[in-house]
Structure 1
Amino acid sequence: MMLPWKQLLLMSSPECLDSGSFHGPRWRMEPGDLFIPVDSMEEEATLTCDAKGIPPPQYRWSLNGTLINLELDHRRRLSGGNLIIRSLDRYQDGGRYQCTAYNTIGAVLSRRASLQFAYLDHFKLHTRSAVSVREGQGVVLLCGTPTSSGDLSYSWVFNEYPYFVQQDNRRFVSQETGNLYIAKVEPSDVGNYTCVVMNSITKSKVHSSPTSLVLRKDGVMGEYEPKIEVNFPDTVPAAKGSVVTLECFALGNPVPEITWKRANGVPFPSKVKMKYSNAVLEIPSFQQDDTGGYECVAENKMGKNIATGRLAFHAKPQWIQTMRDTALAIEERLHWECRANGKPKPSYNWLKNGQVLITEERVYVDNGVLLISSLNLSDAGMYQCVAENKYGVIYFSTELMVLGMVAFIHFLNIV
């Protein structure tokens, strides 16, 4: 029966050829990112790590590039390859974790996984000054978001709970700033306003002190042209497949009308949605075709105001060319090449048993290419190609077996 080449050992003695099948670690489960609510800190956090290999792999972990000494760490322990952390501390335990699986054949690094803590502090307790405006004037009420970690959502209570400000063409709550914008104040707007902030991960809510909105008694504000108060940046980075939202809202009398255009005149695809009287433009499943300039126009009979910005596409690396496990004889030449797409274009590193390879003597490393001339037994082991840009990093693992002459001749005979 034809045997796979992996049943050949790294050594050349004939007796080794029948001692079994050995191979380096291969990932079955790599760690994933964790976002832990601070109010559940008594619970344990588990970062998964599981690899197959013969002999069975062992494991070690690093935090922010520094090896974790589990013998001296009473809060962290291994269960199989999983790292379990108890008595969580948001100041000591947050960061980037990486698992290494290793056996006698070699070692491989896992993807880097982040452990973050979600929290939402309370507003500082202080009395907020009243905001005085004329009828017909526009106004911005500031939320003043407390320190936090995790996605936030905003709403405003009018006078007392549960009466929330209803958004329309005249009133808008920005989910970027948390502020409340009223394009043109009417007498019915007079009252107390409280900003409510919710953390989508912890589900906790905090309330600001109320802000009083009062009308001045020195007359009504005359009509004036729009002034855009909510705008998007000149360049907005947008990930492939993500949901992109652009906000645009203007103060003005009469209340301005919001419209959107693409800078190149191309019509919006049917997937694009307009919300809150066109104050929000939403693009689901963002793709490279959606890149380019976007224009928000706020207009009333007194004039118009235009805001522009550009959506820039980015994508983390994805493999388009990888390597196969390889068996070569001593003094043969190895040529491996890996390629990934991504935006911006990825850069490459090569690892041998978890250590970075650099060009020296017989080894040549450049832009996804690995060349090793005149192989020797010490070149055997686990290799990884690493492709990285500012939005992500990916690893691909493969094994190199270097055979002595007896083993190589035997290999030729059985294949």
Structure 2
Amino acid sequence: MGLSWKLLVLQLFMGCLSEGSGPLRPVFTKQPGSIVFPLHLNEPSREVTFSCEAQGHPPPSYRWKMNDSFIYPQPGSRYSISGGNLRISQLNKEEDAGVYQCLASNSFGTILSREASLHIAYLEEFKTKRRSPVSVREGQGVVLLCGPPAHMGELTFSWIFNEYPSFVKQDMRRFVSQKTGNLYIAKVEPSDVGNYTCVVTNTVTQSRVQGPPTSLVLRNDGIMGEYEPKIEVQFPEVLAVAKGLTVKLECFALGNPVPAITWRRPDEVPFPRKVDVGKSSGVLEIPYFQQEDAGQYECTAENSRGKNTVKGRLSFYASPHLVEKPQDVQKAIDESLLWECKASAKPKPSYRWLKNGEPLESFEDRIQVVNGALSISSLTLSDTGMYQCIAENRHGRVFANAELKVIAVAPDFSSSVLKAQTLARQGGDVLIECRPRMSPRGMISWRKGKEALRESHSLAKRWGSEP
């Protein structure tokens, strides 16, 4: 069997192998997702598994990173890798919370998965056992502090008045902040005297703890006269809100008489129907936040003695979303590459590139990254590999994968065939071009009959009277 037949058989074999085995380069079929693990103090099983799976031929191998550092599982350690999955046992809230990424590699290159966070939700007990009584005059406003214990995960707050199940009911006069847990009484009445206990619930672990009781007592040196409102619960001056989230603004004031709370937008933009003001007017809720909801918001507390106003601005942000991705490409040696990578985001994203899971360093002038676009001139075989564009802002990042194959090509005249006959005017010029496709660039020589000519690449010959 001749050499050409052997090459043909090998090509057919590789083609069949490729078709039967799926893509040669590694391609993720499953990437890790973020996990919130509810940690109960008395729970013996503390284990999570991050999933990762990729196709490729040869089959990919896997590695994992935590906070950009490689994980090296050792026999008997809490970390183990099975297939592409990472298993972490005996979770430790101080050591294991962080950002994880999977790397899949084969002989064609390496790709890095999206980021997956591990949050370990927990709620500890209150450390303090006793609190001093709070003494106020009748008609005076008061704030009872909750001071929630160490925790991770969203909390909700309520207050027990004297004994369970008697809870404080919120109204125009009483308010429980779901930001701090504090209880606010705008104007104390004799019926408010008693013991108050803050109840903290972790919505992830569903665990609940109670703080030490706080006694509220009345002073005997007279009744508090009327005074203008003082806003004690304020929303931030600037609050960034993600697209599609629900935002709740809190506003509550102390005062005598009990202040009325009203909301408005200083630019006189009316609230859409989706905006909800709580029964006590202390909470403004905006569901499914959009760009048009951004801007200034104003809360006013008013009674017969005066009014108090606070303002804040909601800013809209969106994590990056890819709108243009690089595609797999095959190039010959010495050709050029241009990959576009664009994402929509607010604020505008920045871009960087990886090659085989590592930052692409542009030490050479031939490699440039401008506004997300990657250009490489004068390609070499060493440029072959897996590339990833990363678009990111402070709210998130996205990855786009593409493979670059740089190949060598034997000289081929099929796309630029020389004419069998060229007519020329006697005494004039004629240009016969030779442009074979080949990679890398090779030497081109000419013959006239059996005589070798010195010119290369093209032959410009003036035809005279010579035969």
TM-score (norm 2): 0.83
The 3 A distance-change label for structure 1 pair 316 and 41 is: farther
Tell me by how many angstroms 1:71 deviates. Answer: 3.4
Deviation per CA, 1:232-276, whole angstroms, max 9, x where unpaired? 111011111000000000011111100001121100011100114
Q: Whose RCO is larger (CA < 8 A, sep 6+)? A: 1
After TM superposition, the structure 1 = structure 2 runs for residues 183-202 of structure 1, keeping only pairs within 5 Å, are 183-202=186-205
Question: Contact 1:134–1:215 at 8 Å: present in 2 too?
Answer: yes
Aligned counterparts of 2:415 and 2:159: Cα–Cα separation in 1:
74
Check conservation: 1:351, 1:357, Cα contact below 8 A: yes
Matches of 2:186 and 2:387, distance apart in 1: 61
1:410 deviates by: 10
| Superposed counterparts of 1:225-304, under 5 Å | 225-304=228-307
Q: 1:392 aligns with which of 388, 391, 396?
A: 396
Counterparts of 1:125-274 in structure 2, within 5 Å, are: 125-274=128-277
Distance 2:404 2:149 in 1: 53
Residues 346, 292 of structure 1: alpha-carbon distance in 2 compared, 3 angstrom cutoff: same
Deviations 1:71-130 (A, max 9, x none): 356221112111011122222222111110111111100111111211111112332111
Cα distance in 1 between the residues matched to 2:155 and 2:367: 50
Would the aligned equivalents of 1:14 and 1:406 in 2 still touch at CA under 8 Å? Answer: no
- Give the 3 Å change call, closer, same or farther, for CA 104–277 of structure 1 in structure 2: same
**8 Å CA contact 2:39, 2:46 repeated in 1:** no
Is contact 1:63-1:95 (8 Å) kept? yes
Q: Distance in 2 between matches of 1:411 and 1:92?
A: 61
175 and 337 in structure 1: CA distance in 2 versus 1, 3 angstrom threshold: same
| Residue among 372, 380, 383 paired with 1:379 | 383
Work out the CA distance in 1 between the residues paired with 2:415 and 2:400: 26
The one-letter code of the counterpart of 1:112 is E
Give 5+ residue unaligned stretches, structure 1. Answer: 1-12
Map 1:292-331 onto structure 2 (within 5 A).
292-331=295-334
Partner of 1:55: 58
Instruction: For 2:48 and 2:412, locate their aligned partners in 1 and report how far apart those are by CA, in whole Å.
Output: 48
Structure 1 CA distance for aligned equivalents of residues 303 and 403 of structure 2: 68
| Deviation at residue 407 of structure 1 after TM alignment | 10
Paired with 1:30 and 1:269, the residues of 2 have a C-alpha distance of: 39
Question: Partners in 2 of 1:315 and 1:73 — Cα distance?
Answer: 42
SS at match of 2:221: coil
Which amino acid in 1 is paired with 2:174? R
Matched position secondary structure for 2:139: coil
CA distance in 1, matches of 2:217, 2:270: 43
Aligned CA distance change for structure 1 residues 366 and 385 (closer, same or farther; 3 Å): same
**Residue number in structure 1 paired with 2:11:** 17
Residue type at the aligned position of 2:45: E
Distance in structure 1 (CA, Å) of the matches to 2:356 and 2:116: 19
TM-score when normalising by structure 1: 0.93
> Corresponding residue for 1:6?
none
User: Structure 1 156/405 Cα, relative in aligned 2: closer, same or farther at 3 Å?
Assistant: same
Q: Measure the CA separation in 2 of the matches of 1:238 and 1:408.
A: 59
Structure 1 partner of 2:29: 28
Pair 1:38 & 2:42 matched: no
Instruction: Return the alpha-carbon distance in structure 1 between the equivalents of residues 72 and 142 of structure 2.
Output: 56
User: Among 106, 109, 114, which residue is 1:111 paired with?
Assistant: 114
* 1:358 is the counterpart of 2:361: yes
State whether residues 161 and 196 of structure 2, in contact with CA within 8 Å, keep that contact through their aligned partners in structure 1: yes
Taking a change above 3 Å as real, the CA distance of residues 160 and 101 of structure 1, as seen in their structure-2 partners, is: same
1:217, distance to aligned residue in structure 2 (A):
1.4
The higher radius of gyration belongs to: 2
- Residue 393 of structure 1 aligns to a residue whose secondary structure is strand
Alpha-carbon distance between aligned partners in 2 of 1:283 and 1:407, rounded to the nearest angstrom: 66
Find the aligned partners of 2:266 and 2:55 in 1 and give their Cα distance. 53
Q: Partners of 2:329 and 2:361 in 1: how far apart? A: 21
Contact 1:263 1:292 (8 Å CA) reproduced: no
Contact 2:349 2:393 in 1 (8 A): yes
Question: CA 1:78 to 1:37, structure 2 compared with 1: closer, same or farther past 3 Å?
Answer: same
Contact 1:351–1:384, Cα closer than 8 Å, also in 2: yes
SS of residue paired to 1:153: strand
Query: Deviation of residue 16 (structure 1)?
Result: 5.2
Q: Is the 8 A contact 2:385 2:405 kept in 1?
A: yes
**Partners of 1:27 and 1:226 in 2: how far apart?**
59
Query: 1:375·1:402 contact (CA, 8 Å) conserved in 2?
Result: yes
Deviation of 1:38 (Å): 1.9
Deviates more, 1:203-212 or 1:401-410: 401-410
Give the corresponding residue for 1:10.
Answer: none
* Contact persistence 1:195–1:207 (CA under 8 A): yes
Q: 1:410 to 1:303 in 2, by over 3 A?
A: farther
